[in-house]
Amino acid sequence: RSRGHTVTLFNRGKTKPGLFPDVEKLTGDRDPNKGEGLKALEGRKWDAVVDTSGYVPRIVRASAELLAPHVQHYTFVSSISVYKELSRQGLDETAAVATVEDTATEDVEKHYGALKALCEQAAEAALPGRVFNVRPGLIVGPDDPSDRFTYWPLRVARGGEVLAPGDGVDPLQFIDAR
């Protein structure tokens, strides 16, 4: 916004709807089968989309196909979990991704990485050559409820012996959502 861009948010309007009062907000559901679904996006045009909440390929496909004729660029925030072998160092976008036998499954808890990989593929199928997949590790910040980041600094601050994974030189990258 500080660079003159106009921002539109699309969400269900349930979590902290008062955030970003000066930004256009469209209410709907990523799942086209729920409530008003994607109706608020119909007939609209944007230069770019940043998809931060795709977990199920069917749902990403629906919104990407709807938006395809009306957007120039689609950024999909995926996950480092898409990689088949996370223990290998130096992974890049050419590394093999996780797969799942039943590609229609929506069990995100069980098949998170493979479903994220299928979401990437669904977006690319809808917008060939116009998708940028971001595969971050940990995205942290003030409203992160996961405790994946804050646990460690708080635990170390308490002092004493700390049992921690790795050997102290393992690579790790945090992205601060702010």
- 153-175 pLDDT per residue, tens: 889 999 999 888 788 787 777 88
Query: Of the candidates 133, 108, 130, 13, which has an alpha carbon nearest to the alpha carbon of residue 57?
Result: 108
* Environment class of 110 (CB within 10 Å of its CB; exposed 0-12, middle 13-18, buried 19+): exposed
Separation of alpha carbons 6 and 22, rounded Å: 10
Pairing of strands 71-77, 131-134: parallel
For residue 159, what are the domain limits?
Answer: 141-176
88 has a pLDDT exceeding 80: yes
Separation of alpha carbons 138 and 65, rounded Å: 28
CATH label of the domain that carries residue 27: 3.40.50.720
Res 129: pLDDT: 98
Radius of gyration of the chain (CA): 18
99 has a pLDDT exceeding 90: yes
Separation of alpha carbons 29 and 11, rounded Å: 6
Pair 114, 162 in one domain: no
Domain count, the chain: 2
Pair 72, 149 in one domain: no
Pair 107, 146 in one domain: no
User: Per the domain annotation, does 114 fall within a domain?
Assistant: yes
User: Per the domain annotation, does 36 fall within a domain?
Assistant: yes
